[in-house]
């Protein structure tokens, strides 16, 4: 970043620092906006004074009219900005608040966490990832139970738990009705941990599917692109050999997923989103568990991404990647079988969409 850009960014955030908002939203990049878009739109329609902070220069909200909402870019100045914010409520999808460089501000009354994945809290997130939030918008009963269990183990303050659901799924279902799915399109969308698909076996998968009849989209997690730039650039070079394989870096999840008939993933929460929206089985590559929390063994609640893995998809051992086409055929032949199981899992994993409960919780903090 040039000195000019830094001072321009610094000048822009001064207006934010000097203003008390009713609600502030923070998006690490444009990808995360989709998870609280419904809250932003509903609160905006009520005339709530909102500031939307993004660390992505390509965030579309920076280029459009926002009905009086302040939209501000902050990246190099973000740590400085965070502990000077003033608002009744700050809403984020970022775990680990207060654990690293991003500290809480005394000027913010309540910090609210909105989930951007349906996975459990105690395996793929670090220990203490949610300790500094005041309110948690739980996507399903497992989030509610896991937060309570965590509080009982580690004598944390009691957080205010809202049975919120996962509004993104409703939006995906509405869009799916209008889309003609490509029967031969595969979406590869892994998680971003070191033992995930992109770090272990993507070359083998490309070699198998490159000469195939399938159209393949590889969608790296934003964190993978940010943390593994060389590997990302190398992968882009490798897929140039195959005209049927392309890279998907669109911030919007729904486009590539809804157009695809198959999902290949490892431990990513997108498995639930795909299965619940498409009623089709997921193809799981059996990479090692993604464990970020060293205290996971203390929990009696089994992580939902482990418990229901067999019910929503087919599992491909790492040494049988060359058989992926066979697993794709099995997925086609067992659609009815998996659709019934997926329906049962969905009832267990999700609260009914309660967007208005989330909106009301925020309004209650303002009044």
pLDDT in tens, 70-79: 999 999 999 9
> Domain 7-166+352-366, CATH 3.40.50.720 — does that match?
no
Which of residues 139 and 7 earns the better pLDDT score? Answer: 139
Q: What is the pLDDT of residue 6?
A: 67
Q: How far is CA 87 from CA 21, 82, 104, 109, 157, in A?
A: 5, 11, 12, 7, 21
| Alpha carbon 50 to chain centroid, angstroms | 22
Q: Give the ranges where 23-69 is alpha helix by DSSP (H).
A: 33-45
Question: What is the enclosing helix (H) or strand (E) of 94?
Answer: none
Q: What percent of the chain has pLDDT over 70?
A: 98
Residues of the chain with CATH 3.40.50.11720: 7-166+352-366
Q: Give the ranges where the chain is alpha helix by DSSP (H).
A: 3-17, 33-45, 78-82, 141-154, 167-176, 197-200, 202-209, 222-227, 229-239, 253-259, 270-278, 304-307, 309-312, 324-333, 335-349, 355-366
Pick the CATH number of 171-349 from 3.30.70.260, 3.40.50.300, 1.10.10.10, 3.40.50.2000: 3.40.50.2000
Contact 118, 350 (CB under 8 A): yes
Contact 113, 164 (CB under 8 A): no
Distance CA 174, CA 89 (A): 30
Return the bridge partners of 113, or none.
92, 136
The answer to whether residue 312 scores a pLDDT higher than 60 is yes
The answer to whether residue 179 scores a pLDDT higher than 90 is no
Q: 184-238 pLDDT, tens per residue?
A: 999 999 998 999 999 999 999 999 999 999 999 999 988 888 888 998 999 999 9
Residues of the chain with CATH 3.40.50.2000: 171-349
Return the bridge partners of 137, or none.
114, 162
Distance CA 276, CA 312 (A): 9
Give the pLDDT band (50/70/90) at residue 2: low
The answer to whether residue 68 scores a pLDDT higher than 60 is yes
Q: What is the pLDDT of residue 4?
A: 57
What is the arithmetic mean of pLDDT over 162-182? 91
Return the bridge partners of 283, or none.
264, 314
Q: 256-282 pLDDT, tens per residue?
A: 899 999 999 999 999 999 999 999 999
> Please, which residues have CB within 8 angstroms of residue 21's CB and are 6 or more apart in sequence?
49, 50, 51, 70, 86, 87, 88
Return the bridge partners of 25, or none.
52, 91
């Amino acid at each position: 970043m040039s000195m000019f850009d830094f001072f321009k960014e610094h000048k822009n955030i001064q207006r934010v620092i000097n203003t008390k908002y009713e609600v502030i939203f923070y998006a690490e990049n444009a990808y995360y906006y989709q998870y609280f878009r419904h809250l932003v739109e509903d609160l905006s329609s009520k005339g709530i004074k909102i500031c939307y902070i993004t660390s992505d220069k390509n965030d579309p909200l920076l280029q459009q009219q926002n009905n009086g909402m302040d939209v501000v870019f902050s990246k190099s100045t973000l740590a400085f900005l965070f502990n000077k914010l003033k608002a009744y409520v700050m809403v984020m999808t970022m775990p680990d608040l207060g654990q690293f460089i991003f500290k809480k501000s005394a000027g913010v009354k309540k910090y609210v966490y909105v989930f951007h994945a349906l996975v459990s809290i105690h395996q793929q997130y670090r220990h203490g990832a949610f300790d500094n939030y005041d309110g948690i918008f739980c996507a399903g009963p497992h989030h509610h139970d896991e937060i309570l269990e965590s509080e009982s183990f580690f004598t944390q303050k009691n957080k205010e738990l809202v049975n919120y659901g996962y509004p993104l799924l409703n939006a995906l279902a509405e869009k799916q009705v209008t889309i003609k799915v490509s029967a031969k399109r595969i979406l590869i969308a892994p998680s971003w941990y070191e033992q995930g698909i992109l770090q272990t076996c993507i070359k083998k998968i490309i070699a198998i599917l490159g000469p195939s009849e399938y159209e393949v989209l590889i969608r790296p997690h934003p964190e993978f692109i940010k943390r593994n730039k060389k590997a990302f650039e190398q992968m882009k070079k490798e897929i140039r050999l195959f005209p049927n394989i392309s890279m998907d870096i669109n911030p919007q999840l729904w486009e590539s997923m809804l157009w695809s008939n198959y999902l290949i993933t490892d431990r990513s929460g997108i498995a639930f989103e795909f299965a619940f929206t498409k009623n089709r089985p997921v193809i799981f590559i059996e990479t090692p568990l993604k464990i970020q929390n060293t205290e996971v063994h203390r929990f009696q609640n089994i992580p939902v991404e482990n418990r229901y893995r067999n019910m929503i998809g087919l599992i491909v051992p790492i040494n049988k990647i060359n058989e992926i086409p066979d697993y794709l055929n099995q997925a086609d032949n067992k659609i009815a079988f998996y659709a019934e199981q997926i329906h049962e899992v969905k009832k267990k994993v999700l609260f009914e969409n309660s967007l208005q409960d989330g909106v009301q919780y925020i309004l209650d903090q303002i009044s």
